[in-house]
Structure 1
Amino acid sequence: MSYPKEVGGHKLGKLIIEGKTKQVFDLPENPGLCLLLNKDRITAGDGVKAHDLEGKAAISNQTNAKVFEILQATGLKTSFVKQVSPTAFLSRKCEMIPIEWVTRRLATGSFLKRNPGVPEGFRFCPPKQETFFKDDANHDPQWSEEQIVCAKFKFNGLVIGQDEVDYMRKATILVFEILEKAWALRDCALIDMKIEFGVDTEGNIVLADVIDSDSWRLWPSGDKRLMVDKQVYRNLSTVTAADLETVKRNFNWVKEQLDHLKPTIHHKVVVFMGSPADQEHCQKIAKSARDLGLDVDLRVTSAHKATEETLRIMQQYEDTHGALVFIAVAGRSNGLGPVLSGNTSYPVINCPPPSDKMVQDIWSSLSVPSGLGCATVIYPDSAALMAAQIIGLQDYLVWARLRVKQLEMATSLRHADQKLRNLSV
């Protein structure tokens, strides 16, 4: 069989692996990368049912690229690099972990067969997570986490133990919840989905492989009768050209909807400083907030010395932004935060600047008059995190960045603990 020599301007090396719906090629000029080329092919039942479907490769490739762009915007570690042609994309080289990680929000499909007595549509809260060993000959049997740990898989020098399994479980559920929130913007219910992980050349576990309409169940308006995923194809006892056209039309609809899954609300975090002398403290708040993907403005005004001007600036932001948080930076007698809080329905966070009289000064931020609801934190990163939590109520990408940050912090602690356990005394 002959293979292409070049795709998207990239010279192809040897075929690394070929699956039912894609080929993976080495890239001699980019040793750390590989190229995944999709096929115009749709399969089900471990390949028992299979048909050519012209145009599917391009639809799947674009769907995958859009999904990974959403996930990468949250800071999640993935192997995806970029789309390089209508049917191909670049990926970091990984050794794939042979486990499918499945997350379910509603009980349906194979779950019902394996768990008689559970009614279809039973809602899992939190989402149900399951693992399956990739083995076509045995129809991908379900595995427990204990089986994965005891298999002692080793990829790119990394042994898959309990810590690694814990990370993949948490990341799997997080990926589902991110995409669930994204699809909710189009009134589509993400019912379940499967993902896979790989270990890159540096020994890091990353989300890998492909995420497209083969990977999930998606029900517009939460109605199973409106399903637009591969289950439509799986359910066909006979497959006509018209049936294949319907499947292709569904897949194309999904691809087009992904263009509308970005948050539409315009947010802003406004840091008011009572004096230019507080600029260094405010820049720290701004940096931490921007690292979380927040849009930040810095303003200088005094509630005591320029009350009317302070309220005028505040009003300008209220008139032009849907999701809005004010952060007040004022020492000594903090009138800035309480004045803002008393004149807006948006949240206000006090974050007084450092001072040798901090203990005395902070009481003006903590002891506010009745009827006011401004919060108080001391550290710049705490103010940024609190603002992100508030904005994240309306912007799922900001919410997701916080969740990814929590996941990475927990992982770094596990790594530190692991190193300590491995030290020889």
Structure 2
Amino acid sequence: MNSKFGLIYEGKAKKIFAHKDSDKVIIEFKDDATAFNALKKAKFEGKGELNCLISSKIFEFLIKNNIPTHFLELKNNNSMIAQKIKIIPLEVVLRNIAYGSLCKQTTIKPGSVLERPLIDIYLKNDNLNDPLLTKDRINLLKIIDNKELEFISGMTLRINKLLKKFFFNINLKLVDFKLEFGYNSKGEIVLGDEISPDNCRLWDLNQSNGTIVSLDKDRFRNDLGGFIEAYGEINKRINDFI
């Protein structure tokens, strides 16, 4: 990475560097894998590159379908250039199939197909372990107003329709995913962060016996093995499809 431009922020999976254009940043994807709010950590060579390549292709697909995102272009295999945005401290999770925390917190059985997509919104705060929020709590905290919340929810539903079709075309079932949004220099809300197997739960449809085969971070989270191979398989399928 060019040392001329300084590090702005380092998260669990990415580093954000300044760009010569103050409205842009350079996002470098790390090889670190974390789970359970970083209580579980490991490094996998090539993970950052795979997530960067997968995210860039998905962002390009969404942009072609009129979804505003922070993505501008790929810089190299593990870095992208993006709009500099002020992240809204919310994690927006959309669920098509019940799995993970939803099943631990309710009586819904894992694998249940939901009648309609469920949007859960969490406060982006590691110290508080990203608690689930209500609409009234979002208003109380004055994070965003109701109009912005409706805009984000509507965009999340649109993204879900697009991604379900995108992944189905490469024989993957989109179970759930997490999105983050932010304000760009014009004050517009755009999709930020990344879209990769790190924040999407993806099941392989190439299974004749109905067995659930995860091709996402659950392979690391649940010690299933074949973690980096699963990410590589998704990247290969996207390349073959595009």
- TM (norm. structure 2) is 0.94
CA distance in 1, matches of 2:199, 2:184: 22
The answer on whether the counterparts of 1:79 and 1:208 sit within 8 Å (CA) in structure 2 is yes
Alpha-carbon offset, residue 260 of structure 1:
4.3
User: What SS does the aligned partner of 1:143 have?
Assistant: coil
1:166 aligns with 2:150: yes
1:255 aligns with 2:235: yes
Q: Report runs of 4+ in structure 1 exceeding 6 Å deviation.
A: none
The answer on whether the counterparts of 2:170 and 2:238 sit within 8 Å (CA) in structure 1 is no
Count of matched residue pairs? 239
Alignment of structure 1 residues 351-362 onto 2, 5 Å: none
CA distance in 2, matches of 1:5, 1:227: 36
Alignment of structure 1 residues 106-117 onto 2, 5 Å: 106-115=97-106, 117=107
Q: Deviations over 1:116-158 (max 9, x none)?
A: x2122221232111101111122211011222222213xxxxx
Q: 2:7 aligns with which of 15, 33, 37?
A: 15
Q: 1:119 aligns with which of 103, 109, 119?
A: 109
Aligned residue type for 1:71: L
Alignment of structure 1 residues 192-203 onto 2, 5 Å: 192-203=176-187
Alignment of structure 1 residues 312-323 onto 2, 5 Å: none
The answer on whether the counterparts of 2:70 and 2:82 sit within 8 Å (CA) in structure 1 is yes
Alpha-carbon offset, residue 166 of structure 1:
0.3
User: What SS does the aligned partner of 2:230 have?
Assistant: helix
Alignment of structure 1 residues 228-239 onto 2, 5 Å: 228-236=215-223
Q: 1:150 aligns with which of 136, 140, 151?
A: 140
Q: Deviations over 1:298-332 (max 9, x none)?
A: xxxxxxxxxxxxxxxxxxxxxxxxxxxxxxxxxxx
Alpha-carbon offset, residue 98 of structure 1:
0.9
1:85 aligns with 2:85: no
Q: 2:49 aligns with which of 39, 53, 58?
A: 58
CA distance in 2, matches of 1:91, 1:233: 28
Structure showing the higher helix proportion among its residues: 1
Alpha-carbon offset, residue 187 of structure 1:
2.6
Q: 2:128 aligns with which of 123, 138, 142?
A: 138
- Cα RMSD after superposing both structures: 1.5
Hey, what does 1:297 align to over in structure 2? none
Structure 2 residues not aligned, in runs of 5+: none
The answer on whether the counterparts of 1:183 and 1:261 sit within 8 Å (CA) in structure 2 is no
Q: Higher relative CO (CA 8 A, sep ≥ 6), structure 1 or 2?
A: 2
CA distance in 1, matches of 2:61, 2:140: 34
Q: Deviations over 1:359-400 (max 9, x none)?
A: xxxxxxxxxxxxxxxxxxxxxxxxxxxxxxxxxxxxxxxxxx
CA distance in 1, matches of 2:110, 2:15: 36
Hey, what does 1:226 align to over in structure 2? 213
Hey, what does 1:311 align to over in structure 2? none
The answer on whether the counterparts of 2:7 and 2:18 sit within 8 Å (CA) in structure 1 is yes
The answer on whether the counterparts of 1:149 and 1:165 sit within 8 Å (CA) in structure 2 is no
Structure showing the higher strand proportion among its residues: 2
Aligned residue type for 2:192: A
When Rg is computed on C-alpha atoms for both structures, the one with the higher figure is 1
Alpha-carbon offset, residue 261 of structure 1:
4.5
Q: Deviations over 1:72-99 (max 9, x none)?
A: 1101111100111111000101000011
Structure 1 residues not aligned, in runs of 5+: 7-11, 154-159, 263-425
Hey, what does 1:76 align to over in structure 2? 67
Hey, what does 1:216 align to over in structure 2? 200
